[in-house]
Chains A and B, each alone.
Chain A
């Protein structure tokens, strides 16, 4: 049973427009959420995170929104740039702190078209 779901395997967005990547989770124990970006032949790179006590976190062009009641989070990239083309993984961690294993979604391949 997938606890973190990214239902769109791929997403194509025109350069300069907004990219919205979605993620749903089922485990109520998750209270910390992260987005990672992955280029081919490289390990995932941490992008942005959000704690369950917030509903929004912004870092430059990247904003993550969390809707706890819907168990849904989204990553907004504005404006989208060619270098944003990569696979984006949503990940979640339970409460309690520490470095417990993250539960990842299967990823969304974002393609930014010129």
Chain B
């Protein structure tokens, strides 16, 4: 079974630009979560989508947004980029498990550098 894929793997943008990152979850997984990883803050939760609906949102400004398509693929968008947005953006997919299992499977990430 193919894993979570993210494109692009690396991206360089300048301040003020906007960026769109893409994530394809594992086949059969309907939940997609996005995380930002920085050296100082570790892994921080951005938002989670399930069946094209945002179910949970972390503590990030409105410049960060996302969406999910009917095939469960997801995109996240960051507008008006700031230097501090430079980070590794990770996408994770999971099945919906009601018994307490929260295992998420991560993609390799997109390394975004803002100049």
Docked complex Cα distance between A93 and B106 (Å): 16
* CB-contacts of A3-43 with B (<8 A): 31-32, 34, 36, 41-43
A49 touches B101 (CB 8 A): yes
B45 touches A99 (CB 8 A): no
Residues in A whose Cβ lies below 8 Å from that of B104: 46, 99, 102
Docked complex Cα distance between A89 and B33 (Å): 17
Say which size band chain B's interface belongs to. 20 to 34
Say which size band chain A's interface belongs to. 20 to 34
A102 touches B45 (CB 8 A): yes
Docked complex Cα distance between A42 and B37 (Å): 12
**For chains A and B in complex, what number of residue pairs have CB atoms within 8 angstroms?**
78
Residues in B whose Cβ lies below 8 Å from that of A103: 45
Q: Which residues of B contact A (CB under 8 A)?
A: 4, 31, 33, 35, 41-45, 47-48, 50, 55-56, 58, 90, 92, 94-109
Can you name 30 A-B pairs with beta carbons within 8 Å? A31-B100, A32-B101, A32-B102, A34-B102, A34-B103, A41-B108, A42-B108, A42-B109, A43-B4, A43-B107, A44-B90, A49-B103, A89-B42, A91-B43, A93-B102, A98-B98, A99-B33, A99-B48, A99-B50, A99-B94, A99-B95, A100-B48, A100-B56, A101-B48, A102-B102, A103-B45, A104-B42, A106-B42, A107-B42, A107-B43
